[in-house]
Amino acid sequence: MDTLGEVLNHFHLRSLVAPPWKLNAPWGLDVPSGPPTFYAVLAGRGVLETHGTDGLELDAGDLVVLTRGSAHRLRDAAGSGLTPLHDLMVPKRAHPMPRVRLGPADGPLTRLLSGVLLFEDIGHAPWLGALPAVIYLPGKDGRPTPWLRRTLKLILEEGRASRPGSLNIISHLVQIIFTQAVRHHLATMPQPCGGWFNAAHDRDISQVLGLIHGRPDAPWTVSWLAKEAGMSRSAFAARFNSLIGQTPMAYLLACRMHRAQTLLCQTDRGLKDVALCVGYRSEAAFSAAFKRWSGCAPGEFRAKHVKP
């Protein structure tokens, strides 16, 4: 089972990608915290500074993903002055992301492709918290790796063309970028490193994670999940808790409840339908479980979080 694929499908990644930024040295950007963000260096160079780091030097062909959307600084070189990104944003017109130009026209040019990653159900994403704050994929000889070069080319072509369906295509292409970045981390991370990805590396527990995220509506029990893992009930429960830090049923409940929150906020499905989607046979049983878990009833939660 492709556990990573099942998890990403569950969280429904979307994205917003800005037109390429044109930055002439000297330049510097102060970027506030926000959603997970990526930068691809199309030309030139820069320095990425995040909390607790001395600065990561970026060259043409490099890709960097800030998995937690931490506040950061980008500049052509250490010591260059900083401009808040917010000051460069213009009122939304044809594009929802900022078109950034900064620095003197005759300064050495750096071009960045920037985008943000938007996940549904992000409140229950233990795999995201298990990633490093920054994933860095270096280019080679000033060029992106072949897969990234092809992907960036398609993103830029779709962005320029603005044809029907372009935003949907770009979102799928950004999912390729994010998935490849996570693959890179999995291939290069030390073993053992702890956290959710150790569970995803575990042949037996990985199978169960894929099942839970792929079918949160199924009537899972610890015994049933243990059977799917090919383990005894007690051995499975102990290993799951050791790797994930939660019991199987607590993990399943959180997965179901966060999925329910998304359905309540982003769809107009009735409570009975939402209940069935997350594994409850009756609206009453779902409502009681949701209130115990969140502190408010499903209807109250929807009223608080859905704009009129």
CATH no. for residue 137? Answer: 2.60.120.280
Domain membership of residue 196 (yes or no) is no
Encode burial over 85-111: b for 16+ CB neighbours within 10 A, e otherwise. Answer: beeeeeeeeeeeebebebbeeeeebbe
Domain membership of residue 88 (yes or no) is yes
| Same domain, yes or no: 34 and 159 | yes
How many whole angstroms separate alpha carbon 27 and alpha carbon 202? Answer: 46
- Cβ pair 13, 181 in contact under 8 A: no
**Residue 226 is part of which domain span?**
202-305
Q: For 141-167, what is the mean pLDDT?
A: 91
Residue of 124, 74, 78, 61 lying closest to 100 (CA atoms): 74
Of residues 305 and 256, more confidence is placed in 256
Domain membership of residue 194 (yes or no) is no
Please state the pTM of the whole predicted model: 0.75
> Does residue 202 surpass a pLDDT of 90?
no
> Does residue 1 surpass a pLDDT of 70?
no
pLDDT tens, residue by residue, 229-285: 999 999 999 999 988 888 999 999 988 998 898 889 888 999 999 999 999 999 999
> Does residue 122 surpass a pLDDT of 90?
no
Domain membership of residue 197 (yes or no) is no
| Same domain, yes or no: 139 and 230 | no
Domain membership of residue 49 (yes or no) is yes
| Same domain, yes or no: 247 and 155 | no
| Same domain, yes or no: 143 and 55 | yes
Q: For 178-201, what is the mean pLDDT?
A: 74
| Same domain, yes or no: 7 and 73 | yes
Q: Looking at the 3D structure of the chain, how many domains does it have? A: 2
Q: Which of 72-81, 135-144, 162-171 has the lowest mean pLDDT?
A: 162-171
Domain membership of residue 193 (yes or no) is no
CATH no. for residue 272? Answer: 1.10.10.60
| Same domain, yes or no: 98 and 68 | yes
**End residue of a domain, out of 154, 188, 222:** 188
| Same domain, yes or no: 266 and 132 | no
Of residues 199 and 175, more confidence is placed in 175
| Same domain, yes or no: 160 and 33 | yes
| Same domain, yes or no: 132 and 221 | no
| Same domain, yes or no: 37 and 165 | yes
> Does residue 41 surpass a pLDDT of 70?
yes
Q: Which of 62-66, 123-127, 175-179, 231-235 has the lowest mean pLDDT?
A: 123-127
Domain membership of residue 195 (yes or no) is no
- Cβ pair 58, 45 in contact under 8 A: yes
Domain membership of residue 9 (yes or no) is yes
Predicted confidence band of residue 43 (pLDDT cuts 50, 70, 90)? very high
How many whole angstroms separate alpha carbon 33 and alpha carbon 250? Answer: 30
**End residue of a domain, out of 132, 153, 188:** 188
**End residue of a domain, out of 188, 215, 231:** 188
| Same domain, yes or no: 179 and 234 | no
Q: For 17-40, what is the mean pLDDT?
A: 93
Is the C-alpha dihedral spanning 49, 50, 53, 59 positive or negative?
negative
> Does residue 42 surpass a pLDDT of 70?
yes
pLDDT tens, residue by residue, 76-117: 998 899 999 888 765 545 455 667 889 998 999 999 999 998
Decide: helix, strand or coil at residue 277: helix
Q: Taking the CA of residue 216 as centre, how many other CA atoms within 13 Å lie in the half-sphere pointing to its CB?
A: 24
What pLDDT does residue 167 have? Answer: 85
Question: What are the residue ranges of helices labelled H in the chain?
Answer: 3-11, 85-88, 126-129, 146-161, 166-188, 196-201, 203-214, 222-229, 233-244, 248-266, 271-277, 283-294, 298-305
- Cβ pair 262, 254 in contact under 8 A: no
| Same domain, yes or no: 146 and 58 | yes
pLDDT more than 70, % of the chain: 87
